[in-house]
């Protein structure tokens, strides 16, 4: 390429794009330059001075992290320059003079860049004969993070992360020189929803997470790739597991999903320091009004016969059985439950209890996720608050705005991202649809937000939870999209809403109106495709979901309910909905611990918790991400797939696909995004973004 | 040499604009603002004026980097953060002839096309701040500052920004950070302030004394200016002398005046006719000179050739009764305290050097310490992002090299054998 730059590092000719920093150019050919403050995602601050290199014709050593390459540059690193070698050794010696060297009791010991680079580049001993500087420690910076200021080498990664990436500049350096330390402003706290990332990028043990500190040494645990189940972002993570216990969660960078960052909600969902509620390990059956422990066989038999009695009673119409599934149930579980209900019980009453479904996709809405935000030059958020609902997409939008994308907000203009927006319109409730309609009209009229949006070329429109349930609003968005999709403008519209796997639920056909692969139940040809794969017929009438499902139970129409990983009774229900739950002739609940719904059940199956399952989740951008169990379930507990297979067997149902592989293969035949997830493993197999 | 920069400072009431104008302040505005900016810039270039803040960079060249497309807003910043120990040369101008500085800023702003000027004044200069702030107010009232200066069509606004007591803010990019409301820490360079300076705009930063020359260059021309001083360092220079001399103070002399002349003739020599042990020629960032160096001429090149730095003109004289280890320790205490902490070698290195020097002074020295001091200094040298650390090690490197025997005596005798007075002063 003509605009590439050729330079020489340690006698090797290297060709890199302009703007590449020396440290990156060297790294691209495997020449390692020590570093502490440098982080590929942060603006270089060049403060640790450990990456100093010699550049021909430059009198002083210069920081490789902050210096862009130039044509013909001749760089010498420690491999070929004694001056550089001595300087780097000197810098590490400086960093260590006041560092406590309490590695044997430090959380970072064993995964510590200071330890590793001291071994690789540092002096063997110290010549420091003076007293080390002392600080009060540890000091809490926020609800999750503590700081040991003696270990801190003032690399500023945490400060830079909070300022640049999270855009919550809650920590900075205070005081001066050797007296300086990282702190919050007086009376303030580090309560950013991204504070956990600072612990991960800290190159020493200065920042520790309250829930993990002092709990383990890095060599004691196993790192297992997984997916965060806390929201629909689907961040790629590692679980750190020791003796069957997850001790913490760490990032596993996937540029298409998370950029290597995690929000605190996801990261600190694992809290080994807090007592966990007791697990359910035995099936329970209601006998004489009380839930009593029974054997698996007994419970399976009870549930099967109760369901059959209800569904197969003479004269019973279709749809007397229903199912509710909760967030963090896997695609496989949702698919299987949906298939059983439709084929064995002639019911389409499938209700996903984890936020708005992405049914809008079939109405001209494409999935929208991180890559689309990267692509956009203009972003419109309609009644959506990613900072709260999809935190990693909040970071992605901030990144897009930093890179020049323009943000428009329609809805609640007091959300955090509104401060970055170039155009905001306050609207709520019924005003929302009217406001969207007005913007659509303003596109050709070239006024207001319409003009603002239409001056973009690549426009992302994202609807939040409430907006996506408002049919008028959705149809107005459709008009807005067509108004914008003109004059060379491209629009990608989608839903920034729904809980974990909400997109998976609809894709898997766990939906009253949709069969797997977004096939409408009233589309005869689409339905026939599914029936062919299932070798069974499917009821043609759309089913019930959500409130209508419970209300229908209240009227005695729905008589049996299978609740998988959901707890509808814990929500604020209307009296009618509550009556529905009470009137059920048979309520089967699968859960990992006792819930309000389980307390009302006739049968309760002890089910595996999320970390004990193998399967896949579909994120907000309809990216299917597969994962394996991080820990085994406790004895006596089965996964929901296993429970469903056992139920099917007990009921002698025609369920030919029992093994996970067979099941996956069948789903792949019906769902294109699911099939695609087989071509590459979940997310990227890339290691975490942690820098050396 | 007839006084130039200080010629009006003894006139009572020069801080008042009426008195100032009556005595020639703003007299060169008409002529200067009548010139095309490019011509004014050329004039300053031709005069050979070099920066008086310490580095001696040619002023005209510096202006040239920032002058350019007139549509781009740019800033002129006056560095009045005079905090180098031993340096107090700008203070007479700030306190006793503030309108000279304002006139100079207006003319300099005209030359580079800056409509906004900032004077960043040292926080401890409380009197100077009050005087300067009042002068700016009066200059606005009389139409010397503002939209249309004296009907010339030239606009120049001036803001006095008071520092908060950090030495590092005298470093030009830390100064800019401080004005912008951030932590006063040097920026990484490049980009240089001439391209990306205050608020991201091209910015010229000049020392008070540097700017103060400009009205006189406008008045009397480049040739007149070059008639003073040396070939490479033209013009008058303010020297501030402290330490063991009979008449400490600020003196205006031609560039290139020999150090011996300054100490013996101008400052009346050393009290008690004691022998001079060492001289710091340009603030504590400059290396010690020894008695053998007294014939050095005080200009940028000559002092550098003698192994030190011309620096700010802050001359500190030590006599035979002064302990060099104690003096070095005292200087290092200053730098340890003033290091901003951004770069590892400066933050940790000054802490280490201070503690090691302290140990030697207090009797804990070991023979290997001298090599250690030099090696720590070498590991600091040229490795941080601003010149503070390089200034901090000058005293160590030069004192260990020039006065090695005195260090060895400390180590051998288990502490400082100089008079209790000196030891006491160092610990104070």
Under 8 Å CB-to-CB from A383, ≥6 apart: which residues? Answer: A410, A411, A412, A427, A428, A432, A463, A464, A465, A466, A467, A473
| Contact predicate B314/B285, CB 8 Å | no
Q: Per 3-state DSSP, what percentage of chain B is helix, strand, and coil (rounded to 5)?
A: 45, 15, 40
Residues A480 and A559 in one domain: no
Output the pLDDT for position A681: 45
**Residue A275 domain flag:** no
Residue of A nearest to B348 (CA): A94
**Residue A351 domain flag:** yes
Please indicate whether, in this complex, the C-beta atoms of A97 and B352 are within 8 angstroms of each other: yes
**Separation between Cα atoms, residue A22 and residue A79, nearest integer Å:** 15
CA torsion, ordered A156, A241, A638, A655, to nearest 10 deg: 70
Give yes or no for residue B424 having a pLDDT over 60. no
- Tell me the two tokens of residue B206: 């000049």
Residues of B within an 8 Å Cβ radius of A: 166, 168, 183, 188, 336-352, 355-356, 359, 366, 372, 378-379, 382-385
Radius of gyration of chain A (CA): 28
Q: CA geometry: angle at A125 spanning A119 and A126, to 5°? A: 120
List chain B residues with CB under 8 Å of A97.
348, 351-352
Q: What is the helix (H) or strand (E) element at residue A643, kind and residue range? A: helix A640-650
SS3 B158: strand
Residues A490 and A508 in one domain: no
In three state form, how does the secondary structure of B71-138 look?
CCCCEEEEEECCCCCCCCCCHHHHHHCHHHHHHHHHHHHHHHCCCEEEEEECCCCHHHHHHHHHHHHH
| Contact predicate A64/A53, CB 8 Å | yes
Burial degree of A559 (CB within 10 A; 0-12, 13-18, 19+): buried
Residues A193 and A255 in one domain: yes
Per residue in A457-509, pLDDT tens?
A: 999 999 887 787 788 888 899 899 999 998 899 999 888 877 899 889 989 99
Please indicate whether, in this complex, the C-beta atoms of A177 and B349 are within 8 angstroms of each other: no
How many domains is chain A built from? 4
Residues A175 and A241 in one domain: yes
Residue of B nearest to A59 (CA): B382
**Residue A299 domain flag:** yes
ipTM of the complex: 0.94
| Share of residues in chain A with pLDDT > 70 (%) | 95
Under 8 Å CB-to-CB from B150, ≥6 apart: which residues? Answer: B26, B29, B30, B33, B143, B144
| Contact predicate B281/B318, CB 8 Å | no
Give yes or no for residue B105 having a pLDDT over 60. yes
Between B427 and B228, the more confident residue is: B228
Please indicate whether, in this complex, the C-beta atoms of B359 and A179 are within 8 angstroms of each other: no
Please indicate whether, in this complex, the C-beta atoms of A172 and B183 are within 8 angstroms of each other: yes
Question: For B340, which of A93, A95, A176 is closest by C-beta distance?
Answer: A176
Give yes or no for residue A683 having a pLDDT over 50. no
Q: Give Cα separations from B168 to A177, B173, B315, B338, B386 (angstroms).
A: 10, 9, 20, 7, 9
Please indicate whether, in this complex, the C-beta atoms of B344 and A172 are within 8 angstroms of each other: no
Would you place residue A691 in the very low, low, confident or very high pLDDT band (cuts 50, 70, 90)? very low
Would you place residue A274 in the very low, low, confident or very high pLDDT band (cuts 50, 70, 90)? very high
- Tell me the two tokens of residue A416: 């955090």
Question: For A127, which of B166, B346, B372 is closest by C-beta distance?
Answer: B372
**Residue A274 domain flag:** no
Closest CA to A360 of A231, A464, A482: A464
- Tell me the two tokens of residue B423: 């030891």
Per residue in A244-254, pLDDT tens?
A: 999 999 999 99
List chain A residues with CB under 8 Å of B339.
176-178
Closest CA to A77 of A117, A122, A31: A31
Residues A60 and A79 in one domain: yes
Please indicate whether, in this complex, the C-beta atoms of B341 and A176 are within 8 angstroms of each other: yes
**Residue A123 domain flag:** no
**Pick from B40-54, B58-72, B183-197: least confident:** B58-72
SS3 A625: strand
Instruction: Measure A628 CA to nearest chain B CA, in Å.
Output: 44
Residues A182 and A290 in one domain: no
The full set of domains in chain B, from first to last, is 17-226 (3.40.50.11540), 236-319 (3.10.20.600), 324-427 (1.20.1440.230)
Between A342 and A367, the more confident residue is: A342
Q: Give Cα separations from A475 to A467, A469, A471 (angstroms).
A: 10, 11, 6
Residue of B nearest to A129 (CA): B356
Q: Which residue carries 């993070």 as its tokens?
A: A145
Residue of B nearest to A58 (CA): B382
Boundary residue ending a domain (A267, A299, A320): A267
In three state form, how does the secondary structure of A351-366 look?
EECCCCCCHHHHHCCC
Please indicate whether, in this complex, the C-beta atoms of A178 and B355 are within 8 angstroms of each other: no
Question: For B344, which of A49, A127, A173 is closest by C-beta distance?
Answer: A49
Phi then psi for residue B183, to 5 deg, are -60, 130
Q: Domain limits at A55?
A: 5-97
Residues A643 and A512 in one domain: yes
Per residue in B291-341, pLDDT tens?
A: 999 999 999 999 999 999 999 999 999 999 999 999 999 999 999 999 999
CA torsion, ordered A255, A259, A262, A266, to nearest 10 deg: -20
**Mutate which: B123, B338, B383, B392, vs A, most A CBs within 10 A:** B383
Residues of A within an 8 Å Cβ radius of B: 44-50, 52, 59-61, 63, 66, 86-87, 90-91, 93-95, 97-98, 127-131, 133, 153-154, 172-173, 175-180
**Residue A394 domain flag:** yes
**Residue A119 domain flag:** no
Residues A370 and A239 in one domain: no
Boundary residue ending a domain (A435, A461, A495): A495
List chain B residues with CB under 8 Å of A180.
340-341, 347
What b/e sequence results for B272-301 when a residue is b if at least 16 CB atoms lie within 10 Å of its CB, and e otherwise?
Answer: eeeebbbbbbbbbbbbbbbeebbebbbbbe
CATH number of the domain that residue A201 is part of? 3.30.70.20
Please indicate whether, in this complex, the C-beta atoms of A87 and B383 are within 8 angstroms of each other: yes
CATH number of the domain that residue A15 is part of? 3.10.20.740
Under 8 Å CB-to-CB from B101, ≥6 apart: which residues? Answer: B78, B80, B93, B94, B119, B132, B208, B211, B212
Output the pLDDT for position B208: 98
- The mean pLDDT value for A150-172 works out to 97
**Pick from A78-87, A280-289, B67-76: least confident:** B67-76
- The mean pLDDT value for B44-52 works out to 97
Give yes or no for residue A361 having a pLDDT over 60. no
Between A327 and B179, the more confident residue is: B179
Identify the DSSP state of B263.
Answer: I
CATH number of the domain that residue A548 is part of? 3.40.50.740
Give yes or no for residue A657 having a pLDDT over 80. no
SS3 B214: helix
Helices marked H in B142-290: 172-179, 208-212, 214-226, 259-260
- Tell me the two tokens of residue A561: 């309910």
List chain A residues with CB under 8 Å of B378.
86, 90
Question: For A130, which of B341, B356, B366 is closest by C-beta distance?
Answer: B356
Residues A364 and A347 in one domain: no
**Residue A364 domain flag:** yes
Residue of B nearest to A92 (CA): B344
List chain B residues with CB under 8 Å of A55.
none
Q: Which residue carries 């703003």 as its tokens?
A: B26
Between A361 and A640, the more confident residue is: A640
List chain B residues with CB under 8 Å of A46.
188, 385
Boundary residue ending a domain (A475, A495, A515): A495
Q: What is the helix (H) or strand (E) element at residue A513, kind and residue range? A: none
Per residue in A406-431, pLDDT tens?
A: 999 999 999 999 999 999 999 988 89
**How many other CB atoms are there within 10 angstroms of residue A419's CB atom?**
12
Would you place residue B426 in the very low, low, confident or very high pLDDT band (cuts 50, 70, 90)? low
| Contact predicate B370/B359, CB 8 Å | no
**How many other CB atoms are there within 10 angstroms of residue A10's CB atom?**
17
Residues A363 and A484 in one domain: yes
- The mean pLDDT value for B247-257 works out to 96
Residues A427 and A475 in one domain: yes
List chain A residues with CB under 8 Å of B338.
176-177
Residues A396 and A486 in one domain: yes
Identify the DSSP state of A14.
Answer: E
Please indicate whether, in this complex, the C-beta atoms of B342 and A93 are within 8 angstroms of each other: no
DSSP B339-350: --S-SHHHHHHH
């Amino acid at each position: 390429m003509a605009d590439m730059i050729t330079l020489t590092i340690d006698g090797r000719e290297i060709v890199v794009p302009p703007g590449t920093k020396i440290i990156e150019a060297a790294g691209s050919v495997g020449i390692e330059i020590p570093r502490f403050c440098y982080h590929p995602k942060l603006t270089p601050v060049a403060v640790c001075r450990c990456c100093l290199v010699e550049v021909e014709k430059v009198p002083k050593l210069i920081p490789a992290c902050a210096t862009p390459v130039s044509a013909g540059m001749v760089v010498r690193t420690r491999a070929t320059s004694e001056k550089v070698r001595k300087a780097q050794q000197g810098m590490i010696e400086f960093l260590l003079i006041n560092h406590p060297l309490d590695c044997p009791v430090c959380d970072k010991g064993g995964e510590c860049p200071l330890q590793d680079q001291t071994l690789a580049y540092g002096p063997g001993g110290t010549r420091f004969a003076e007293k080390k500087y002392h600080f009060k420690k540890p000091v809490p910076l926020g609800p999750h993070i503590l700081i040991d200021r003696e270990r801190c080498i003032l690399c500023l990664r945490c400060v830079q992360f909070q300022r640049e990436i999270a855009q919550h500049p809650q920590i900075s350096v205070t005081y001066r020189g050797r007296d300086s330390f990282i702190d919050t402003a007086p009376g303030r706290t580090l309560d950013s929803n991204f504070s956990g990332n600072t612990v991960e990028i800290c190159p020493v043990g200065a920042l520790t997470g309250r829930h993990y500190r002092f709990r383990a040494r890095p060599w004691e645990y196993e790192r297992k790739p997984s997916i965060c189940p806390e929201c629909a972002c689907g961040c790629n993570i590692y679980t750190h597991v020791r003796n069957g216990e997850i001790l913490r969660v760490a990032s596993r960078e996937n540029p298409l999903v998370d950029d290597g960052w995690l929000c605190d909600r996801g990261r600190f969902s694992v809290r080994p320091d807090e007592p966990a509620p007791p697990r359910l390990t035995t099936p329970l059956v209601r006998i004489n009004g009380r839930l009593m422990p029974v054997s698996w066989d007994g419970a399976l038999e009870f549930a099967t016969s109760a369901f059959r009695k209800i569904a197969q009673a003479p004269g019973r119409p279709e749809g007397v059985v229903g199912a509710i599934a909760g967030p963090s149930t896997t695609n496989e579980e949702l698919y299987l439950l949906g298939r059983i209900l439709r084929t064995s019980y002639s019911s389409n009453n499938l209700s996903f209890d984890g936020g708005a479904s992405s049914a809008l996709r079939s109405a001209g809405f494409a999935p929208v996720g991180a890559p689309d935000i990267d692509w956009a030059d203009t972003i419109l958020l309609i009644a959506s608050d990613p900072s709260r609902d999809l935190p990693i997409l909040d970071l992605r939008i901030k990144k897009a705005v930093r890179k020049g994308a323009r943000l428009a907000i329609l809805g609640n203009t007091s959300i955090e991202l509104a401060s970055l927006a170039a155009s905001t319109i306050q609207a709520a409730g019924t005003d929302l649809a009217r406001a969207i309609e007005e913007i659509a009209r303003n596109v050709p009229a070239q006024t207001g937000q319409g003009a603002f949006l239409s001056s973009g070329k690549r426009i992302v429109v994202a609807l939040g939870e409430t907006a996506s349930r408002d049919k008028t609003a959705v149809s107005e968005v459709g008009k807005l999209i067509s108004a914008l999709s003109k004059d060379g403008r491209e629009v990608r519209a989608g839903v920034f809403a729904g809980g974990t796997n909400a997109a998976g639920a609809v894709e898997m056909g766990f939906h009253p109106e949709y069969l797997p692969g977004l096939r409408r139940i009233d589309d005869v040809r689409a339905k026939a495709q599914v029936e062919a794969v299932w070798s069974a017929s499917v009821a043609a009438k759309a089913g019930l979901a959500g409130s209508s499902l419970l209300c229908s139970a209240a009227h005695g129409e729905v008589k049996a309910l299978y609740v998988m990983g959901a707890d509808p009774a814990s929500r604020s229900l209307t009296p009618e909905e509550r009556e529905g739950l009470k009137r059920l002739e048979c309520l089967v609940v699968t859960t990992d611990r006792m819930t309000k719904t389980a307390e009302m059940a006739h049968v309760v199956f002890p089910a595996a918790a999320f970390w004990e399952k193998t399967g896949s989740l579909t994120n907000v951008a309809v990216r299917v991400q597969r994962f394996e169990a991080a820990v085994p379930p406790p004895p006596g507990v089965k996964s929901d797939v296993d429970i469903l297979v056992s139920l099917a067997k007990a009921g002698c149902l025609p369920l030919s696909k029992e093994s996970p592989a067979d099941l996956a293969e069948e789903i792949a035949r019906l769902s294109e995004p699911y099939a695609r997830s087989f071509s590459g493993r979940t997310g990227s197999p890339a290691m975490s973004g942690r820098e050396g | 040499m007839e006084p130039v920069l200080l010629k009006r400072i003894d006139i009572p009431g020069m801080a008042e604009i009426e008195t100032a104008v009556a005595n020639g302040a703003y007299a060169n505005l008409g002529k200067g603002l009548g010139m095309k900016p490019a011509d004014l810039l050329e004039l300053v270039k031709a005069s050979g004026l070099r920066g008086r803040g310490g580095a001696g960079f040619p002023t005209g060249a510096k202006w040239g980097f920032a002058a350019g497309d007139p549509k781009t807003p740019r800033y002129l910043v006056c560095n009045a953060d005079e905090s180098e120990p031993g340096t107090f040369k700008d203070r007479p101008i700030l306190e006793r002839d503030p309108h000279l500085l304002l006139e100079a800023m207006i003319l300099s702003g005209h030359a580079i096309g800056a409509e906004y000027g900032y004077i960043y004044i040292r926080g401890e200069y409380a009197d100077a701040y009050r005087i300067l702030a009042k002068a700016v107010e009066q200059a606005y009232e009389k139409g010397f500052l503002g939209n249309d200066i004296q009907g010339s069509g030239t606009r120049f606004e001036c803001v006095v920004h008071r520092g908060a007591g950090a030495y590092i803010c005298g470093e030009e990019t830390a100064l800019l950070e401080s004005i912008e409301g951030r932590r006063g820490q040097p920026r990484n360079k490049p980009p240089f302030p001439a391209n990306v300076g205050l608020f991201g705009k091209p910015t010229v930063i000049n020392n008070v004394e540097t700017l103060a020359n400009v009205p006189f260059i406008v008045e009397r021309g480049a040739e007149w200016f070059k008639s003073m001083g040396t070939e490479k360092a033209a013009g008058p220079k303010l020297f501030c002398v402290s330490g063991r001399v009979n008449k400490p103070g600020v003196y205006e002399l031609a560039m290139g005046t020999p150090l011996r002349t300054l100490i013996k003739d101008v400052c009346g020599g050393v009290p008690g006719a004691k022998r001079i042990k060492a001289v710091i020629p340009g603030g504590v960032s400059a290396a010690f000179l020894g008695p053998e160096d007294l014939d050095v001429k005080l200009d940028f090149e000559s002092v550098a050739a003698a192994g030190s730095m011309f620096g700010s003109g802050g001359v500190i004289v030590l006599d035979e009764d002064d302990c060099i280890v104690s003096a070095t320790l005292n200087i290092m205490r200053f730098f340890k305290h003033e290091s901003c902490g951004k770069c590892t070698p400066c933050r940790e290195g000054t802490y280490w050097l201070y503690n090691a020097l302290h140990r030697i002074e207090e009797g804990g020295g070991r023979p290997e310490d001298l090599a250690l001091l030099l090696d720590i200094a070498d590991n600091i040298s040229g490795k941080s992002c601003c010149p503070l650390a390089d200034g901090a090690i000058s005293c160590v490197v030069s004192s260990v090299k020039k006065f090695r025997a005195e260090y060895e005596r400390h180590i051998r005798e288990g502490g400082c054998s100089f008079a209790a007075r000196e030891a006491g002063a160092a610990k104070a």
